[in-house]
Structure formats: structure tokens, C-alpha cells
Structure 1
Amino acid sequence: MAVTEHGNTEHSGYELVRTTLVQAVGADPAALTPRTALGDLRLDSLALVELALALEDRTGKPMTGVTEHSTLAEVAELIDAVGIDAVDTEPSVPPARAPGPVVGIVR
């Protein structure tokens, strides 16, 4: 993964990881760097599973190597190693809609 002089990466896998962390588990974008370990973000085991599943949805490949010890750079390298079938930066599940008024119930 190439890192520019400003610390930004020139890597689509890294941007996919960052975007997925923000969208899927609500990570603070300011806390995300290539060297950030997922455990440093205080993600619980459920959040790690949600992240791996979201990455699987977006890449079409299994993400079994994602652990709390993985850095964002390592997850990006994993994505590159397995390749990407199709990148979908939007969550695969649409956001829940607010319930509308209950109509037709009269007592």
C-alpha cells in the first residue's frame, strides 16, 4: 500500500475499509489511520463480525483474517490479496424507516 507524504493512502482497499468502518460500525473517521488496529477502536466482538460481514458484502470475498489485532492497512492488504468482485460502498441493507401511523385500529 502506498502512503503519500501527507499520510494518506493511494489505495482503494484502504478507502473501502475506512468507509465500511464509518458506515457499518460508526467509527470516528478522525481516529482512522493505516496503522490503527481494530482493537484500538474498542470494537467488541459483534462489531468485528459486523465489519467482516460488511466487507464480505462489499467485496464478494470472505474476510476471515479480520481480527482485533489487524490494522486498517492489513485489512486493506487482505482485500487486495483476495481481489474484489464488486465494490459496493453503500450498506447492503437499507436503513430502517420510521414507523408510520397505525391506521384502521378502532376500539
Structure 2
Amino acid sequence: MSAINAFNPAAHVASADTTPAVIQAARKFRNMFKEAHPFARDTAYLRPHPVAWEFYTSKFGRAAKFYSLGVVLFFGWPFAMKYVINYRNGVYDAPKKSRRN
């Protein structure tokens, strides 16, 4: 049995492993926002889900039309403008340069 401290009779109570109420409340508040799942999962017991190839190919097929059109427009507009400017200026009538022999 431990002796009671004459200067501070509650010293033996305060020295126990108790956390203050503020810290306990902060931990509860922090744990409210945590996801409830284990940190480490043993993948030996989990089977991979099947991939829905039909779904992804249909989505890719629909998106590919717009992306390919976008790429052509994005990289092709300078060539189209060159053609329009040359046509408007009459450059299409000019003879092409020939190589010297």
C-alpha cells in the first residue's frame, strides 16, 4: 500500500493512467471521421471481382469518337488555316518549285 502524500492527498489518483476529458473528447471527434475498415487486408482470402469488359468497351467506344475528333481538330486547324489563307491569296495557282538538276 502506498503512502498518502501530505502535501497533495490526490496525487495517487492523478498519477494513474487516465487521460484528460478534453483529449478523450478530441479522440472521439477524430474517430467520427475515420473509415470503418481494417488497415491490413489479407488478400489470400479475397477473390478479385470480375471485370465488366462489355461496359468498359462500350464506354471507350463512345468516348473514342469524340476524343479522335478533338485531336484532329486540335492539331489540324493550323493546316486548315494554311490551306484557307493560300486559297484566298491565290497561291494555289502558283507553280510548284522544281528541283535543279
TM-score between the two structures when normalised by the length of structure 1: 0.17
Greater helix content: 2
Rg larger in 1 or in 2? 2
* Higher relative contact order, chain-length normalized (CA < 8 Å, sep 6+): 1
